[in-house]
Chains A and B, each alone.
Chain A
């Protein structure tokens, strides 16, 4: 199986929290991080999300794949920004060169204090947001997604569809891997040498078509099963799992609201903007 939800029952303080409270907190936190460019405050967010990661008791083995993909991509994006000096035009207008390296002819490569700190702020922002996203699949039971979204205001039908989608991931992923292996055994290559762009795209059909059509036809059985159980016969449906807010969940939501309000007020008052320490700026 190539991909599955990495949820494991751990009985941690994070997992004992109501998933609705956690999703509300995550969204409020991400909005707050988006409002922030001050590296000092962003480092505080990094500490907070590192604490949540620690409390989740996730291991390197479990999350290695995430870090191996996300960190190089974030680093690449941030490095391009830092090297080209673009992307931060709104955050700063004046630059103070730190060092300059001659390239060829009259061309020189210059890094300014603003470029450096903009890149660091951008890196921390992206890392914090990605880590918030990481905690969800690792710490929320896949069977709880539907009832969670229902609890967050989604209609029953959309909540059931969401629930079904998250539950189907391992099954469809297995079909995907089986089809890929079967096609490879027949000599299928994703990237055939010498083929043009359009041919390369057409080459994807032996993989995409059987998995998609097979899954859709298999879905007919699910439709029959749901119809036989009178799905949608009554306007209101019940859920096998019931979620109840407890005091700690209210505390988490209140904390998220507090962080959001404080961040917003600070931002409106002129704080949390891009920051460069004065000691690094050459006099």
Chain B
């Protein structure tokens, strides 16, 4: 088996890329994608440690995460669609109605 460190780096890299995408992307859908990436990174982390400690419960948790991600993506997309209907755009830097 390959050293844990390498997989952790991958997971960390995915996570960071996801964070970076959330913070940086203008398109709302792209933000959602980045969030999926974060979720995937977390899920990978679970699988990794499950293999490491030999506990299959973590793998089950990874399945939960996948289901959860699907739901959350749905809701997120519904919000984006609602946003599009109202603001006629999906770019977050063009929507500042809640500005105080």
Are A and B interaction partners? no
Interface residues of B (CB under 8 A from A): none
